[in-house]
Amino acid sequence: MSRETEAVSTNPTPPPARVLVIEDETTLAGLIAAYLSRAGYATTTVHTGPDGVQAVREHAPDVVILDLGLPGLDGIEVCRQIRTFSDCYVIVVTARKDEVDTLIGLSVGADAYVTKPFSVRELLARVQTVLRRPRTGSTSASETPSSEPIRVVGALRVDPNGHRVHLADTEVALTPTERDLLITLARRPTMAFTRRQLIDVIWGTDWVGDEHLVDVHVAHLRRKLGDDPDTGRYVTTVRGIGYRMGQG
């Protein structure tokens, strides 16, 4: 008993992050799950689309690793359904790199993409990176100014303190990534961010991958805000640079 007490008082361990693997190739799914479990994650594995949606409801995972080609319900539809009730991180596993472009148009709301073939080590790195991201919703008070100005652009109101976004009088349901993007832009409203700068703030400076990912999330964000898909009013495209908050 005393040993337990000591362990708790000197090194309080947070509960392990929960990862759900939705992958129909059972050997690959087992390999991923074993690797993640060894790395300390509480891992669950399912093999079909409908089971995937059900498992997100039951287990409320922190991260979902989602294969696109699934029986029963394809990964795109699974992601859409998950997004109607969960803001967990979704890492999509695609067979082709150009599928990411298709996903932009479909606005499925994934947070990261990994292209097959990948190493489990690479996948683990992705999981660690999304979980390490500086979540705007969980930043401690000591790291942020106690009061940041609320940014208003037309009907859009972004509150960096309360981490809330309203359009007219209605709160907009955003994924953590979309909210982080908008709040990052709102904190420096006169600054045009490059994609890399946004990645450094939101995904972390050690993020390696296609900077196109930013465009995916801007596209999702614009759709939810009813913004122009190409130029944007709330999130403005700055030609040759990247993105800036719209001017209020």
Binding window for Ca ion (CB under 5 A); candidates: 20-28, 47-55, 138-146, 168-176: 20-28
Closest distance between Ca ion and the C-beta of residue 40, in Å?
26
Burial zone of 206 (CB within 10 Å; 0-12 exposed, 13-18 middle, 19+ buried)? exposed
* Cβ nearer to Ca ion, comparing 50 with 69: 69
Closest distance between Ca ion and the C-beta of residue 93, in Å?
8
Which residues within the stretch 27-86 sit at the binding site for Ca ion (CB under 5 A)?
67, 69
Report the residue closest to Ca ion, judged by CB: 69
Are β-strands 112-115 and 89-94 bridged in parallel, bridged antiparallel, or unpaired? parallel
Q: State residue 90 phi and psi, 5-degree precision.
A: -120, 120
Among 19, 20, 24, 207, binds Ca ion (CB under 5 A): 24
* Cβ nearer to Ca ion, comparing 23 with 178: 23
Residues 6+ away with beta carbon under 8 Å from 90 = 63, 64, 66, 79, 82, 83, 109, 110, 111, 112
With H, G, I as helix, E, B as strand and everything else as coil, classify residue 19: strand
* Cβ nearer to Ca ion, comparing 67 with 178: 67
Number of residues located near Ca ion, criterion CB under 5 A: 3
Closest distance between Ca ion and the C-beta of residue 74, in Å?
9
Q: Which two tokens stand for residue 1?
A: 């008993």
For residue 24, which of 5, 46, 41, 39 has the smallest C-alpha distance?
46
227 binds Ca ion (CB under 5 A): no
Closest distance between Ca ion and the C-beta of residue 25, in Å?
6
Q: Are 216 and 103 in contact (CB under 8 A)?
A: yes
Tokens 């803001």 map to which residue? 87
Please name the amino acid found at residue 120. V
Binding window for Ca ion (CB under 5 A); candidates: 22-30, 32-40, 73-81, 205-213: 22-30
Closest distance between Ca ion and the C-beta of residue 34, in Å?
18
* Cβ nearer to Ca ion, comparing 22 with 214: 22
Write out the residues near Ca ion by the rule CB under 5 A: 24, 67, 69
